[in-house]
Structure 1
């Protein structure tokens, strides 16, 4: 019996002036462990008058994980944080009860040709952390756990796996692991995983039970502890997931919560502009049309 429970294809989505490939949420599988949202940005080239400009917008009930392969983003938030992220580093912003941030091309790059490629990820917070004070952590690339096993390299971007722990301050049991192989070989890593797991193919291909899968796909395992696959040469994949929550999650725009009431509260706060301001910013993204708080899953995750 196959351990591939679902295949999720990347779909185009517009985040303002930038197109991305959306992976999560997906109609048939809204979350993998605590991971509730994944966008693949690029790869794209921008000319001397094209820039990434995501104006100030709010979040609640989640942590954002920004991870770049190419390019640079200037992050600013209502805590007063202003920091540029480069490839391999991690921006980890925990919204808790509420935070506002913007993401833009740094000023020194705005009038030159540039590239952009990376992942934008949301990790839902446990119910007991939904009203925590917001925080921001930047982790440099050199501080991310890295190790090699023959032709295979591993980076533990967030969480715990393989007896190692990332310095990214997560709030639930989870893992986000980058694997790159220079040669074709079989990997059996299920004994290092737990909860639910998904495998995202960034480049190259993998083979599972005689079937070959390529880029821009997430394969969701039926059982994380049975994670075994053939990784082909020059392939990069991400393994992510962890323990699912016992409660359902609702998602509306940039808000994630365990109740619809919390979503409604956040919507009103943003309409009243009571989330806080991002220093140096004068614009903001308005609340979108009200389609209601959608369940992040059709039933509780566990």
Structure 2
């Protein structure tokens, strides 16, 4: 590890969900957050069997915002606000849980016949304390509405925040940077030092940072204040994420994030007692509270 560039290296925990895998780097034992990012999953890449699809049954969230971004495939989103939206590659689904929301994610019926493709990132953003209990909300930003920087050998789409002199229209609650960087063979982009906390993640292909080879599906937390050059000899898809450092810690248990453990305990009790709202059009099944969740913070 290059000590002058990299503050921390977080290797993924991989979960096989039957037909596809997710690679999770946040939260982890070494680190819970990078800026507001408190959950970081890479889904796939995978091609599911014909006639099947992903079926994430209705489940609750509190005190966070989920961000879904696809490289390939499509997902139908439904939530307890009555939202129905299909996300496709290059677009953003931002769902603000606030005081509580329930949603489901499923492969569109049109995708199932030939075997859905699935590849993308799902992240959660912790909300600053003043926003933790806001009204829930949903926002879809089309790919055409996100700024794209084209340079020789590289294309970068800004998903959230301000980067490289452009600003994404996606709502942010804390200072956030989030970008999808596609590097052609021999391409490069500068990574500046404009955020408190930043991380680089190679989703596919190979890339180097100032000559240091980056392992795929690994989250590299950059040392504050450094600027560097991201480069690929054979082509890559890379994510840059981060933002402002939170002054207070966040707790994670299953799908719940909060600055208060008591608030998480209340959400657990509310879900068990069927006190969360239902998802119109998808209210016949749901995910029960697990005895031992796969997603937890580490005190």
TM-score by length of 1: 0.91
Query: Partner of 2:111 in structure 1?
Result: 109
Partner of 2:291, secondary structure, is: coil
1:185-196 alignment to 2 at 5 Å?
A: 187-191=189-193, 193-196=194-197
Paired residue for 1:75, among 60, 74, 77? 77
CA positional deviation for 1:178:
1.5
Moved more, 182-191 or 164-173: 182-191
Distance (Å, rounded) in 2 between the aligned partners of 1:62 and 1:34: 9
Partner of 1:232: 233
Gaps of 5+ in 2: none
- Given that 1:48 and 1:111 are in contact with CA atoms closer than 8 Å, whether structure 2 keeps it comes out as yes
Alignment size in residue pairs: 296
For 1:250-261, list aligned pairs within 5 A: 250-261=251-262
Cα pair distance change 1:187/1:72, threshold 3 Å: closer
Q: What SS class does the counterpart of residue 262 from structure 1 fall into?
A: helix
Structure 2 match to 1:198: 199
Provide Cα deviations, 1:125-171, integer angstroms capped at 9, x if missing partner. 11111110000000111001012122221110111222321111110
Alignment partner of 2:144: what SS? helix
Asked if the contact 1:248/1:297 (under 8 Å) is kept, the reply is: no
Task: Map residues 1-302 of structure 1 onto 2, 5 A cutoff.
Answer: 1-14=3-16, 18-184=20-186, 187-191=189-193, 193-208=194-209, 210-281=211-282, 282-289=284-291, 296=297, 298=299
Secondary structure of the 1:50 match is coil
* Structure 1: gaps (5+ residues): none
Greater mean alpha carbon deviation, residues 178-187 or residues 239-248: 178-187
Distance 2:18 2:251 in 1: 23
The whole-number CA distance in structure 1 between the counterparts of 2:132 and 2:180 is: 28
Task: Report the CA distance shift for 1:185/1:115 in structure 2 as closer, same or farther (over 3 A).
Answer: closer
Which segments of structure 1 move beyond 6 Å, counting only runs of 4 or more? none
Residue pair 1:31, 1:297 contacting (<8 A) in 2 also: no
Deviates more, 1:247-256 or 1:37-46: 37-46
Instruction: Determine if contact 2:58/2:103 at 8 Å carries over to the other structure.
Output: yes
Shift of 1:5: 1.5
Alpha carbons of structure 1 residues 236 and 111: separation in structure 2 relative to 1, 3 Å: closer
Q: Is the 8 A contact 1:98 1:134 kept in 2?
A: yes
Q: Would you say the 8 A contact 1:203–1:214 is kept in 2?
A: no
Partner SS state of residue 263, structure 2: helix
